[in-house]
Structure 1
Amino acid sequence: MRPHFRQTALLSASLLLLAGCASASGPWVELNGKRFDIEIADDDAERARGLMFRDAMDADHGMLFIHDVQAPQAYWMKNTRIPLDILYFDDARKLVSMQRDVPPCSLGDRCPPYPSAAPARYVLELNAGQAQALKLETGAELKFGPGVAQP
């Protein structure tokens, strides 16, 4: 292969690889203009495990819990090692309730529940302090990116 063609082939291969990486990004949500890469918990087993046994979570990451129907929700911090903000959203993806700066809990089944103040379908867990940093207020809209099931 002549040098010019080799460079062109390498450049083309590199661009295809970069394009593949860009399109392979995971699901995300946006809240008050900030994007968070998320893991999705949309079945009973995933919702039950949540963020248990993790020692850290990147600042721009979170976990989105998707429930089958809008209903009162209550989350707890059993075996959760990192403080969290627990944000509750209704069917329209509007913030209806939040529990800020929820501490870790190692008390097993004696960990207290943190209920929503109104029925919710989506629950977003972020690192503690994010709700304050975003200046979240009731009614804030949660926007879904590609890879998040749209109702």
Structure 2
Amino acid sequence: MALGLASGPARAQAMLLPTAQLKVGPHAVQAEVAATEASRSYGLMNRNALPADHGMLFVFDAVGMPCFWMKNTPLPLSIAFIDAQGKIVNIADMQPHSLDTHCPQAPILYALEMQQGWFRQHLVKAGAAVANLPPP
């Protein structure tokens, strides 16, 4: 999700985010937690790689229908939209540098971005549970 804050690799390195160890179905995921407006807006922009089983968890202040796009994001990503109970509502693949929007099919409180194909490779589908989510 990008809204056009400061750009460049230096900005990506400067934003140190807390992390959370999530359980996506039976799989462990290390996620950076983007829980502020600035960190949610910047997301994974200008990142060239993600380690295996690492992603970014977007935590919103309230349940809603936020949409995501990939401007200034060179990585192909998959996004899981997660409701307040920790259930995956839907999953979408997102293409690098695209302005196409990807939206949840129902109100969510969280969104988890992973390397494109991660959910499919790990047989994680809509309806799967995500555990150890931080509070909003």
Matching of residue 94 in structure 1 with residue 87 in structure 2: yes
Give the secondary-structure state (helix, strand or coil) at the position aligned to 1:87. strand
* Unaligned 5+ runs, structure 1: 1-25
Provide the rounded CA distance (Å) in 2 between the counterparts of 1:48 and 1:56.
19
Provide the rounded CA distance (Å) in 2 between the counterparts of 1:82 and 1:150.
27
**Moved beyond 2 Å, runs of 4+:** 148-151
* Unaligned 5+ runs, structure 2: 1-18
Deviation for aligned residue 1:135:
1.4
Provide the rounded CA distance (Å) in 2 between the counterparts of 1:130 and 1:122.
17
Provide the rounded CA distance (Å) in 2 between the counterparts of 1:63 and 1:137.
18
How big is each residue's C-alpha offset from its partner over 1:29-79, in whole Å with a ceiling of 9 and x where there is no partner? 111211111100001000000000000001110000000111112000010
The TM-score normalised by the length of structure 1 is 0.74
Provide the rounded CA distance (Å) in 1 between the counterparts of 2:70 and 2:88.
20
Deviation for aligned residue 1:137:
2.0
Give the secondary-structure state (helix, strand or coil) at the position aligned to 2:119. helix
Matching of residue 122 in structure 1 with residue 114 in structure 2: no
Matching of residue 72 in structure 1 with residue 57 in structure 2: no
Provide the rounded CA distance (Å) in 2 between the counterparts of 1:150 and 1:48.
19
Provide the rounded CA distance (Å) in 2 between the counterparts of 1:149 and 1:92.
12
The structure having more radius of gyration, on CA atoms, is 1
State the match for 1:104 in structure 2: 96
How big is each residue's C-alpha offset from its partner over 1:101-139, in whole Å with a ceiling of 9 and x where there is no partner? x1101x6xxx11111111111000000011101212221
Name the aligned partner's letter for residue 126 of structure 2: T
Provide the rounded CA distance (Å) in 2 between the counterparts of 1:149 and 1:96.
18
> Quick check: 2:58–2:111 contact (8 Å CA) kept in 1?
yes
Give the secondary-structure state (helix, strand or coil) at the position aligned to 2:102. strand
Equivalent residues, number: 118
Provide the rounded CA distance (Å) in 2 between the counterparts of 1:124 and 1:44.
16
Give the percent of matched residue pairs that are identical in Structure 1 and Structure 2: 32
> Quick check: 2:78–2:119 contact (8 Å CA) kept in 1?
yes
